[in-house]
Amino acid sequence: MIANMHLVVIGLNHKTAPVEVREKCAVSDGNLPKALATLNACHCVVECCILSTCNRTEIYAVTNTREDEDALVQFMSDYHEVERASFEDKLYRHHGHKAVEHLFRVAAGIDSMMVGENQIVNQIKNAFCVAGESDVTKALMNHLFQQALYVGKRARTETDISRGAFSVGYAAVELARSIFGELEGRSILILGAGKMSELTAKHMQSSGATSIAVSNRTFSRAEELACKLGGRAVEFDRFPEEMLHSDIVITSTGAPDAIVTRGMMKKITRERRRRPIFMIDIAVPRDIDPSAGELDGVFLYDIDDLDTLVQQSISGRKKEIERVRAIVAEEVQKFNVRLRTLEAVPLIKQIRDKYDHLRDAEWARTSSKLSHLSETDQEAIKVMMQSLINKISHDSLLKIKEYASNGDGLGKLEVAREIFGINDEPEVKK
C-alpha cells in the first residue's frame, strides 16, 4: 500500500551534466512508450513516469523500498546501452517530499535553464499523458503530476516569472546578432519541424530575418511549419544544398545521431567561400557534429552555450523566483497532507469491505426466517442494516483520516488495523 511505497526521482539536467552526457540518456517522444514499458517491467517498480527534454532526463518512480532505486540507474544504463560510470556521478536523487518539491520546481519554471519558460509545462503534461496511456501510473503518480501542472499554472498566473521570459529563441537571436549585427534580410534554414524550432524561427523573424526554409524527414510536417512561418518546405535529402545559401541554421530533429557531419560542413564552407554561417543546435542528442564548429566561418552553438545569457536573465528575475519558491513550498505542504490522507484509503476500504461481508453474512443467516415478509419490507431491513453500519463506522473512519493527515499518525493507523483486525501487506509486483 502507499504507506509502504517509496517515491523517488533520479535524473540529470543542464546543471549536473553537459549535453554530451545528457544526449546519451535522452528518450525521444517516439520511444517514450517503449521506455516506460521496459521500466515498468522491473519487479520493484510500482508506478513510473519519464520526463525527457533537451535539458533533462528524469525518472519518477514509486518503488517497494528505497534500496530498489538502484534498479532505476541500471535501467538507464541498460536501456541506453551506456556504461553506468559515464553518467552515474552526474545523477541527482530526491526522495519523498524532496521528490515532490523537485517536480513542482520544474513545473514552475525555476529549475529550467530558461527561467520561467512555458514549454516545460507542456512537456510535463505530455510525459504524464503518455505514462497514463501506457498504464504505468496509479494513485500516487496521478496525484503528483496533476498537482505539478496546477503548481505550474499558479506560478505563471500569480507571478511575473514568465513575463518576458528568457527563451532559446531569444538567446539564438542575441548570439546571431553578435555575428551578423542586425538580422534584416538574413535567410534561415530550419531542420526539424518541432515546437522549439518554430519558436526560435519566430524570434528570428521578429528581429528582421525574412527568408525561411523548413526541412523535415516527414515532408508534410515541413510544409505545415513553412506555411505557419510564411516560408517554403525543402525535401530532407536536399537540406545540404539549402545550407549553401543560408545565413542561419536551426536544428532540432530528434535524430539519434548527428545529421550534419564535419565532412558535410567542410564541403559546404568551401563552396560558400567561408562566408559566415550561424548554426544553433538545440537538439538532444545533438544534430551537428561538434567538430564542425572548428571550421572557418562556422559559428556553432549548442544548448549549453546559452549559459552566460541565462545567468544574466536569472539575475534580473530574483524577486519573481522567490515568489514562485513560496508557492512551491505551500503546494508541497498541501500535497504531503493529501498524500498522507491517501495512505488511509486502503485501510478504510478494507474496513468497509469487512463490514459489508459481515452484513451479507448476517443477512444470509437470518433471511430465511423473514420469508413471510414482503420484498419491500425485506429491502427496508437491508437499508436499515446498511444505515446502521454507516453510522457505527462514521466516527472511526473520520478519525482514521485525521490520523493519516498528521505526520505522526502512521503508528495510530497500525493500531487501527489491529483494532479492526485488518492484515495489511505491501503491494509487491509479481
Contact 233, 223 (CB under 8 A): yes
d(CA 181, CA 169): 16
Q: For residue 212, is it left (φ>0), alpha (ψ between -120 and 50) or beta?
A: beta
Of 102, 18, 3, the C-alpha closest to 55 is: 18
Residue with grid cell 535524473, as numbered in its chain: 11
Q: CB–CB of 300/292 below 8 Å?
A: yes
Sequence letter at residue 35: A
Write the DSSP string, 129-161.
Answer: HHHHHTT---HHHHHHHHHHHHHHHHHHHHSST
Among left, alpha and beta (phi > 0; psi -120 to 50; other), residue 263 is alpha
**Residue whose C-alpha is closest to residue 249's, from 199, 299, 180, 208:** 299
Q: Which is it for strands 92-95 and 6-13: parallel, antiparallel or unpaired?
A: antiparallel
Cα distances from 167 to residues 113, 126, 283, in angstroms, run 9, 20, 15
Q: Which of 268, 86, 106, 293 is nearest to 189 (CA)?
A: 268
Edge-to-edge, what's the strand order for the sheet holding 92-95? 45-52, 56-63, 6-13, 92-95
Supply angle C-alpha 193, 197, 200, rounded to 5. Answer: 155
Indicate the helix (H) or strand (E) that contains 12. strand 6-13
Give the three cell numbers for residue 108: 514552475
Q: Which residues are catalytic?
A: 54
Count of other CB atoms within 10 angstroms of residue 142: 15
CA separation for the pair 239, 189 (Å, rounded): 8
